[in-house]
Structures are given as C-alpha cells and as structure tokens.
Amino acid sequence: MTSEEDFKNGQVLLIDKPLTWTSFQAVNKLRWAIRQAYSIKKIKVGHAGTLDPLATGLLVICTGKMTKQIHIFQGQEKEYTGTFVLGSTTPSFDLETEIDQTFETSHITAEQIHKTTHQFIGKIEQFPPVFSAIKKDGKRLYEFARAGEAVEIKSRQVEITEFEITEINNLELKFRAVCSKGTYIRSLAHDFGKALNSGAHLSELRRTRIGEFTVENALTPEAFIEGLPSK
C-alpha cells in the first residue's frame, strides 16, 4: 500500500475522469482524500492536462515532488476516441451549448468522409473554440463567450499524427485521433464538418492515452479512494 511518504515524495496517479466532473474537481477530491487518509495538512496535487467536463477518460495526476514533472507529461502526445455529429453546429463546438445552425448532409458519402480525414493529418492551423480556458487579456475565453462579448482568437499550429473514422452510423461518426499538446478535438469536429461542406459538432469524447499511460490502467476516483487507508 502507498504510504504518506510515497505521496509526498511523488506519485503519478492514472485516473479515469467521470462525465460532468471538471479536472479541477478530480484533483480536489483526490487531494482531500489523501489528506484525510494520512492526516496531512498540506500536499501538492496537480493534473497534467485538462479534460472538459463533457469528456471522460485519462487524467494524469501527480502528487508531491512529482508535480514538478507535470510539464513533461503535458507535452506528450494524446489519443482520443469519440463521436462527431454531422449536419449541425454549436457555439462551443460540443454539447455544452445548444445547436445554433443546421446544414445539408445528403451530399456526404462514406468515401468522402474517409477521404476528408487526410486533410487533417500532419501539422495544421487550428482555431481554439471560443468556449475554452485559454487566457486573453487576463480572462478565460469562455468568460468572454458567456458574456456575449466578441473576441479575436488567433490560430495555432498543432499536429495530428493519426485520424480515422472508425464507424459511420447515419449522422454519427465514431473516430480515433492521436495528436499533439494544444489540439482541440472540438475544433477538429467543427473543421471536419466544414470540410464536408456541412457542419459538425462533438457529442462524445474520451481520452485513452497520454504518452505511455493508458486509460486501461486508470482507476475511477472512487476506486482510488477506496484503496486508501481508512481511519
């Protein structure tokens, strides 16, 4: 069993983040549980890469001295699976906001869908969603968006090394993507819809890998907490 000293010296915890939880909530829940289990007043705990509340999957959480290594894990490539829905868009590019536009889809073929993935493999320019945590002028972009304020967003270069549509079910496309730090899968969904002369938004997202760490080896927050010593 992991000791108090182990957590202070530094642990890398693989957590499967539940749907609707923020990454911050997951970190807080684990920090509180570790402090309670060992009667520790203070311990550093942080995550190596945010997952949106509507996404599930792998969070790499570091404790103690390992928090100094967070930037290394943040820079590693990531793998995602999920679902795009064709024919409609939302302001947030996912289901955080309501559908604002609908588009024709009758012209889209399965062959065209698979062929279009090739446009997004390699180094590409991508605009982050306005509903994101990126800071501009000291404020998060989503703060501007929720206040209805227009804000100029600059594109950034990201790299997608693998991108495939694994299943087509009417307007729902299952996908798998491997990408660099800073890639927004919501933006990929939005841009993919545009490339098909239609629209699309992200309806489901799961992070399956960060570097060598996989979600198969991750614990739910509840399972991790159950493994701690009880008072």
Active site residues: 52
Q: What is the DSSP string of 147-162?
A: TT-------EEEEEEE
Quote the tokens at residue 129: 């969603």
- The SS3 call for residue 21 is coil
Quote the tokens at residue 128: 């982050």
Buried residues in 31-60 as b, exposed as e (16+ CB within 10 A): bebbbebbeeeebbbbbbbebbbbbbbbbb
Q: Which residue has the tokens 């890469």?
A: 49
Q: Which residue has the tokens 């062929």?
A: 115
- The SS3 call for residue 45 is strand
Q: Is residue 3 a contact partner of residue 37, using CB atoms and an 8 Å limit?
A: no
Q: What is the DSSP string of 142-209?
A: HHHHHTT-------EEEEEEEEEEEEEETTEEEEEEEE-TT--HHHHHHHHHHHTTS-EEEEEEEEEE
CA end-to-end distance (rounded Å), the chain: 15
| Cα–Cα dist 63/130, whole Å | 31
